[in-house]
Structure 1
Amino acid sequence: MKNLIIFCVVLEKLIADNTQTQNLTSNRQQATCGIDNSPISVVYEGYAKIETYPWLGTLYYPMSDKWMTTSVVLVSKQIAIGAALDVDKVPKIDFRSKSRVVIGTNCSGPALRVKDYSFHPDYPKTTLSALALIQLENDPQMIGFRPICAPPTALNNAQFYSMTLSNECHISTIRLQKMAYVDYQTCKEFYRQTELDIESMWPPYVVCARAMLGKSCVWRSGTVLALRQNNRWSLVGVGVAGPGCNAPARFMEYNQYRPWVRNSVLRIGRPTVTRIADNQIIMRRSLARIQRYGPCDPEEIKSELYTDHTKIEHFPNPKKHRASYNFTIFANFEYSCIVFQVFHYNKWATEKPKIYLHKWCLSPKPLCYGMHFLQIDFYVEIFFKESITYRVMVYGQEIKFLDIKRATAYFNTKRKYPGVPFVRMGINTTGRR
């Protein structure tokens, strides 16, 4: 219990100071972001090596006969972004355990494990062209990583380039092309004339550009649109699958997604709530993973913590009945997915029961409604007309606490201590003292 209390106090302090920590981390990253490994300051169009640009990378998922791959770009030490549609195609039954990300090298280089992922709220209801966040596991090799910079506030002789990775991830070759801006109306007209104006493929925030030389081509998702200014590279957008090269290409404008990326990291440790339907709500809470929304994926529901089914019988009545249940999330559990669901016995019922999730508030506002606490009390409210079944399914794992004394003793046995030189003591034969 003593260890649990210390653990809770420390984590509450860490979550409360998260904004300050992120600002310090951001300042350190800005000092080195966007600096490439090229020995010369001139950028030539054509082919280059991915090792020159340490923020470019690939997410791959090994299958029995092939690898599924998609391009990603590193925007902070542990966060990469890519096209949501490509990431969504990767099997989710073991996505976190089998997927790997390589940064600044081809797929033959050292790989990083995936801690978690998240799709932008626009995907897929509003558009199929949105960004996905990939959170990387902390690894010692990240010390040398340099993410790409955020877009500058002002342009000064900036040059725009597209960076396209090879379809074969074991090849280090990338293609650089100098790009020119294309206004939205011209871009929209091109896609209308070519009959490629599919509404679901247009990003909500779009930048169009085309190569200044060469012919038209077709790009995969994930081509990076970057600008170079004062010998630093900044991310402008991430490409959508479709026409490219000399044809107007569409890019998801990164500057519009930055608040979402930042908040997904700053709000680690706070619960997320998704309403799937009137009768189903999903909640998640992790102390170390980025926020996620939407339905549970197969990997999130592999480890069951708790399940409960409650039946409430009532004769059909035009008047709605009400029932409520309490629910608490605790500090010593990682909740990968919690499903609250209610349904009628009678599957022919015309009106589904409705479920609501509320936070118990016993303190004055705004403290009452904060979500940064480690233990949070909720109550579930249900409205129904006929007999129902209420079901709650909790998935995740219990946090294992570290015994400090035993851990210290173990690491001391593994530590290499410097050798103690042997000194031969002389023998006094003179009888003097």
Structure 2
Amino acid sequence: MILFHYYLISKKKVLACHIASQLSCDVSMKSKLQEGNIGETKALPWLGVLRVHIHEGDSFKVALTGTILVTKNYCITNAEDIANIPSFLFKREAKAMFILNDNATWSSGVKGFVLHPEYEYATYNTIALVELTDYQDQLKPICWPEYSYNTKNNLYVVGYTDEHRFLEKIIYKLEYVGQSLCHEFYNRMGFRKDPLHTPTRYFCASAKNNKKNCVWDNGMALVSNTSGPWVFVGFGLKGPGCAAPSRFLDISSYKPWIESSTDVVTY
């Protein structure tokens, strides 16, 4: 009877965690999206852009990088893209933009950022956490895969492009590229061989149906919808894309740091 009672309690805990995960992350997008440019759509709402106005004399420029909402008021971005921006300037000039409804954007100011401890000591290609000043109840963060999650063949890259002179989302189906082939490709390309520009934990993938040569920017997301909702698998680094092997940080290895830095359990 004691064992049976314990089993019931454990089962309730599992169910409670499952319900919490359903309420805490975005499960709204389960249908398949057409590959390519998909416009200013509300699909993939956790996919955003971090925009910073940088003043230079009498003029200013706008710096953009991709960002992914991982809790209701924290998103991650590429550490190297923001590390050298003074803190006061970042707080004053940075905005995180997301698309809540078709052709309708929502922006939040930022409180600041925290670089992952491996930045500069091990690699420049790592993540930073950005805390938002505001949040929308309808804007839910991306879901995280459960332990031993299998992506099977449902692996995609999603991000933003401005090839049509406005920001719109893109999605392409990917397939994994073995580490040995990936290393060979980057060695042959001579692409930033110094250790500090080599990520510590990553894997590679290429677009199955896009045979072009292109460059993808920092902050794209490697995602899978094997179990229905989109889940976060990898964080994209600037470099060869489309038909070429693209590098993605193994985001699961950063999950403990994200949770400890935000005091929020990610699902």
The answer to whether TM tops 0.5 is yes
- Give the C-alpha shift of residue 197 in structure 1: 4.8
- Which residue identity does 1:62 align to in structure 2? H
Q: For residues 144 and 59 of structure 1, what CA distance do their matches in structure 2 show?
A: 19
Match for residue 42 of structure 1? 32
2:52 to 61, 70, 75: 61
Match for residue 217 of structure 1? 214
- Give the C-alpha shift of residue 215 in structure 1: 1.7
Which of structures 1 and 2 has the bigger CA Rg?
1
Q: Indicate the RMSD between aligned Cα atoms, in angstroms.
A: 2.7
- Give the C-alpha shift of residue 108 in structure 1: 7.3
Match for residue 192 of structure 1? 187
Q: Is the 8 A contact 2:162 2:168 kept in 1?
A: no
- Give the C-alpha shift of residue 94 in structure 1: 1.9
Alignment of 1:257-272 (within 5 A): 257-266=254-263
- Give the C-alpha shift of residue 43 in structure 1: 2.5
Question: Structure 2-normalised TM-score?
Answer: 0.81
Alignment of 1:230-379 (within 5 A): 230-266=227-263
- Which residue identity does 1:264 align to in structure 2? S
Q: Is the 8 A contact 1:37 1:53 kept in 2?
A: yes
SS of residue matched to 1:47: strand
Q: Is the 8 A contact 2:46 2:69 kept in 1?
A: yes
Q: For residues 254 and 205 of structure 1, what CA distance do their matches in structure 2 show?
A: 8
- Which residue identity does 1:151 align to in structure 2? P
Q: Flag the structure with more relative contact order, 1 or 2, with Cα contacts below 8 A and sequence separation at least 6.
A: 2
Q: Which moved more, 1:96-105 or 1:247-256?
A: 96-105
- Give the C-alpha shift of residue 90 in structure 1: 3.5
Q: Which moved more, 1:257-266 or 1:188-197?
A: 188-197
- Give the C-alpha shift of residue 160 in structure 1: 0.5
Q: For residues 93 and 158 of structure 1, what CA distance do their matches in structure 2 show?
A: 44
**Does 2:25 correspond to 1:33?**
yes
Q: Is the 8 A contact 1:29 1:146 kept in 2?
A: no
Match for residue 92 of structure 2? 97
SS of residue matched to 2:256: helix
| Structure 2 residues without counterparts, runs of 5 or longer | 1-15
Q: Is the 8 A contact 1:36 1:54 kept in 2?
A: no
Change (3 A) 1:69 1:194: same
SS of residue matched to 2:206: strand
Percent of counterpart pairs with the same letter? Answer: 29
How many residue pairs align between the two structures?
240
**CA deviation profile, 1:372-409 (whole Å, cap 9, x unmatched):** xxxxxxxxxxxxxxxxxxxxxxxxxxxxxxxxxxxxxx
**CA deviation profile, 1:237-286 (whole Å, cap 9, x unmatched):** 1111111111011111110000000011229xxxxxxxxxxxxxxxxxxx
- Give the C-alpha shift of residue 36 in structure 1: 4.1
